[in-house]
Amino acid sequence: MEAVVIFESLTGNTAKAGYAIAAGLSERGLPTSAFPMTQIDYQALSNADVVILGSWVDGLLLVGQRPGRLGRIRALPALAGKRTIVFLTYAIDPGRALTKMSDAATALGAEVLGGQLIRRDKLASGVADFVDRVLQVTVDA
Binding ligand FMN (rule: CB under 6 A), the pick from 51, 52, 53, 57 is: 57
For residues 30 and 57, which CB has a smaller minimum distance to ligand FMN in the complex?
Answer: 57
Quick check: 56 and 89 in contact, CB under 8 A?
yes
Site string for ligand FMN, 8-27 (x = CB under 6 A): -xxxxxxx------------
**Residues whose CB falls within 8 Å of the CB of residue 15, separated by 6 or more in sequence, listed in order:** 7, 9, 36
Residue 118 identity (one-letter amino acid)? I
Which of 1, 61, 75, 124 contacts ligand FMN by CB under 6 A?
61
Determine, following the binding rule CB under 6 A, whether residue 89 of this chain makes contact with ligand FMN.
yes
Query: What's the min distance (Å) between Cβ of 130 and ligand FMN?
Result: 14
* 65 sits near ligand FMN (criterion: CB under 6 A): yes
Write the Ramachandran bin of 78: left for phi over 0, alpha for psi from -120 to 50, otherwise beta.
beta
Residue 50 bridge partners (DSSP):
3, 83
Bridge partner list, 88: 55, 117
**What are the residues binding ligand FMN (CB under 6 A)?**
9-15, 56-61, 65, 89-94, 120
